[in-house]
């Protein structure tokens, strides 16, 4: 006999779900059932009417899907059915594999190949994305890419390689437009809003804007009391003290640092000239590393971002300078160091050039430049650290 009265609603409890052993179907209400199979396996079943037809929809095993989750899924499917949709169709759509950015690049390249003017342009289109975008975005699914991700690709080359950067931006936009048309994305293309986070390319000189070297100690003092986070301040100070490039500092790993020998060895793959570079570490730099180790939380990176698995953003120094309202670049501190070394020290030009990891362009000179002048550079970097931070410890 059928029971009379109201239909059950939220009739089951989590304890009952665990305790039911007898095979059968146990109603929770609103078409949701716990099904216990003869084997003892338990699963959720939703029975509802979809576009005039009764449909049974599995919601997963009870061992993986809790009672609360089953109710939540059932509610979403009931709403969809009431609005005329088909939950099964929507679920099949959701199960479609969304390509990664690198996979999408290959798909777009293949589909557009015949429309390009020549094979060289087609190859350049693909190569620029593989070189500049895929290292950051390649493994990300196209539906997970947002404006900050695109910004991280463009920021390092926006001022140094403006024409390339503009092409990369346009080509990333093409890939993500394709992803939206293919049903893998929704909403605005993240490339549209990225310009707000990039400096105007027409507002810079040919060289990176730099402080006069005499102003660097005052800058360091201001940085210490700025609103920039401590790990970012430490990274910026380390960049100045080592006269290194932004990418070299942000990518620094603890296995590159030898505190006993006071040496940082940057592998060739992370250097602009693709040659290993040894950086002698001053006392001030060692102090910074000691504090960074306390903040790193076991990360392999010397200056990790919030997750600990990725470095600080490429924009971190630019944002610090903007907050301090200074129209200069982080890269410009290398110029400040070079001017200081030329005017305030008696060391040969080659020592400063080696400290900056500049390639020796003269082939004859390069053939004889067998040494990296490490011992002489140690003295140079200690002098620079004393000049930059005359008041004492820099690890703040």
Annotated domain spans of the chain? 14-94, 101-203, 213-388
Could you say which residues of the chain have pLDDT below 70? 1-8, 92-96, 114-118, 200-208, 359-371, 391-396
- N-term to C-term CA, the chain: 79
**Nearest to residue 326, comparing CAs of 223, 185, 191, 231?**
223
φ, ψ of residue 48 to 5 degrees: the values are -155, 170
Query: pLDDT per residue over 35-49, tens digit each?
Result: 998 888 899 999 988
What integer pLDDT is reported at residue 391 of this predicted model?
A: 66
Q: pLDDT value at position 250?
A: 93
Give per-residue burial for 202-241: e unless 16+ CB within 10 Å, then b: eebeeebbbbebeebeebbeebeebebeebbbbbbbbbbb
- Residue 242, pLDDT score: 95
**Beta-carbon count within 10 A of 359 CB:** 11
CATH class, 213-388 region: mainly alpha
CA distance 251 to 314: 10
pLDDT in tens, 227-255: 889 999 999 999 999 999 999 999 999 99
The answer to whether residues 213 and 339 touch, using CB atoms and an 8 Å cutoff, is: yes
Protein fold of 101-203? DNA polymerase; domain 1 (1.10.150)
Q: What is the pLDDT of residue 22?
A: 92
What backbone phi and psi angles, to 5 degrees, belong to 312? -60, 155
CB 263 within 8 A of CB 375: no
Would the pTM count as exceeding 0.75? no
Angle between helices 283-296 and 230-242 (to 10 degrees): 150
Q: How many helices (H) and strands (E) does the chain have?
A: 17, 7
pLDDT of residue 205: 37
Q: What is the pLDDT of residue 367?
A: 38
φ, ψ (nearest 5 deg) of residue 307? -75, -20
pLDDT for residue 368: 36
Encode pLDDT of 330-389 as tens digits. Answer: 998 998 998 898 888 888 888 888 998 875 444 433 433 446 788 899 999 999 999 998
pLDDT of the residue at 299: 93
Q: Does domain 14-94 have CATH number 3.30.160.390?
A: yes
């Amino acid at each position: 006999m059928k029971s009379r009265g109201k239909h059950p609603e939220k009739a089951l409890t989590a304890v009952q779900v665990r305790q039911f052993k007898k095979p059968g179907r146990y109603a929770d209400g609103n078409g949701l059932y716990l099904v216990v199979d003869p084997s003892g396996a338990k699963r959720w079943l939703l029975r509802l009417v979809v576009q005039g037809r009764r449909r049974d929809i599995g919601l997963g095993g009870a061992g993986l899907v809790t009672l609360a989750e089953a109710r939540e899924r059932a509610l979403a499917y009931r709403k969809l059915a009431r609005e005329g949709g088909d939950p099964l169709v929507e679920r099949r759509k959701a199960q479609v594999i969304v390509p990664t950015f690198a996979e999408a690049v290959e798909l777009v390249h293949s589909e557009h190949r015949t429309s390009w003017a020549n094979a060289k342009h087609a190859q350049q289109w693909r190569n620029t994305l593989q070189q500049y975008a895929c290292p950051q975005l390649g493994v990300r699914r196209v539906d997970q890419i947002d404006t900050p991700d695109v910004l991280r690709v463009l920021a390092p080359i926006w001022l140094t390689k403006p024409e390339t950067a503009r092409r990369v931006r346009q080509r990333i936009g093409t890939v993500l437009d394709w992803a939206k048309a293919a049903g893998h994305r929704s909403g605005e293309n993240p490339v549209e809003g990225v310009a707000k986070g990039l400096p105007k390319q027409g507002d810079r000189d040919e060289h990176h804007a730099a402080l006069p070297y005499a102003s660097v100690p005052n800058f360091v003092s201001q940085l210490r009391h700025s609103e920039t986070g401590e790990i970012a301040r430490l990274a910026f100070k380390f960049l100045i003290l080592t006269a290194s490039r932004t990418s070299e500092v942000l990518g620094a790993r603890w296995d590159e640092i030898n505190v006993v020998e006071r040496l940082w060895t940057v592998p060739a793959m992370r250097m602009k000239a693709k040659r290993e570079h040894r950086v002698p570490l001053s006392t001030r730099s060692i102090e910074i590393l000691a504090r960074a180790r306390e903040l790193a939380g076991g990360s392999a990176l010397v200056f990790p971002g919030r997750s600990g698995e990725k470095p600080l953003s490429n924009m971190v120094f630019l944002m610090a300078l903007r907050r301090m309202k200074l129209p200069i670049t982080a890269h410009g501190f290398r110029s400040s160091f070079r001017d200081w070394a030329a005017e305030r020290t008696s060391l040969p030009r080659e020592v400063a050039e080696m400290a900056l990891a500049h390639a020796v362009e003269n082939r004859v000179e390069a053939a004889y430049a067998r040494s990296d002048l490490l011992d002489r550079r140690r003295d140079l970097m200690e002098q620079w650290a004393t000049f930059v931070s005359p008041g004492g410890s820099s690890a703040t």
